[in-house]
Amino acid sequence: MRIDNRENDQIRNMKITNNYLMSAEGSVLIEMGNTKVICTASVEDSTAKHLKGTGQGWITAEYGMLPRSTATRKIRDSSRGKIDGRSMEIQRLIGRSLRSVVDMGKLGERTIWIDCDVIQADGGTRTASITGAFVAMVEAMKWMQQKQMIKELPVKGFVSAISVGVVGGERMLDLCYYEDSRAQVDMNVVMTDKGEYIEVQGTGEESPFTANDLTALLALAAEGCTQLNKVQREITGDFK
């Protein structure tokens, strides 16, 4: 048994609260165990500079952690005057993960801004952000459809993400912070509901890992993402 009494192949208790904020076109609170992230999607009636005149839209993301989302206070990026490297990496990951399943031509020359704000961190903040941001994005697109800005939802599939790793010689799904900080192998996997990989980030933290480890961890991640897709679909419906 793990520190929170889960089986190795069991995700943490998951909950997505839709329409979490009253102003955003799409917004959710996603909870994965003790990790909690507010994800919003805002519609802007202009596209990215490099796409102007092409008829195509854009999806971009920003990510941040509130000062007391962690055990000790984290300094705000605004106080430092720049975004830290980790946050920059994660927001780029969120953006490209969502763009991979959207038909930008059907979106038109508009931008959907995704904001992921971590209010409590206990491991897996980037993966929870991707899973929650997808739902917020689809809800914003439904708003666009209601406003007759688009004829149909320009989404080709679901996107979710989960962490896997090797901790104490055991392969585990959905690592909390305690497990992640002690992992010999740490991996984040972003997938579609068709079993396709969008991104795999894997690191041998203490030692190299084998092809067998990689295969087993990817299979474990696929099981987790299937469960996440089910919860996403309960909110968004099946739009395909």
Q: What pLDDT tens digit does each residue of the chain (240 aa) get?
A: 799 999 999 999 999 999 999 999 999 999 999 999 999 999 999 999 999 999 999 999 999 999 999 999 998 887 888 888 889 999 999 999 999 999 999 999 999 999 999 999 999 999 999 999 999 999 999 999 999 999 999 999 999 999 999 999 999 999 999 999 999 999 999 999 999 999 999 999 888 999 999 999 999 999 999 999 999 999 999 875
Q: Tell me the C-alpha distance between 53 and 211, whole Å.
A: 46
Number of helical (H) and strand (E) elements in the chain, helices listed first: 6, 9
Annotated binding site: 86, 124-126
Looking only at the bridges linking them, the beta strands covering 35-44 and 111-120 are antiparallel
Q: Are 123 and 35 in contact (CB under 8 A)?
A: yes
What's the pLDDT score for residue 77?
84
What's the pLDDT score for residue 79?
81
Q: Tell me the C-alpha distance between 32 and 118, whole Å.
A: 12
Q: Are 86 and 80 in contact (CB under 8 A)?
A: no
Q: Are 174 and 12 in contact (CB under 8 A)?
A: yes
Q: Are 229 and 158 in contact (CB under 8 A)?
A: yes
Annotated binding site for phosphate: 86, 124-126
Provide the token pair at 119. Answer: 């209010």
Q: Which domains does the chain have, with CATH numbers?
A: 14-236 (3.30.230.70)
> Which residue do the tokens 């068709």 mark?
194
Count of residues making up the chain: 240
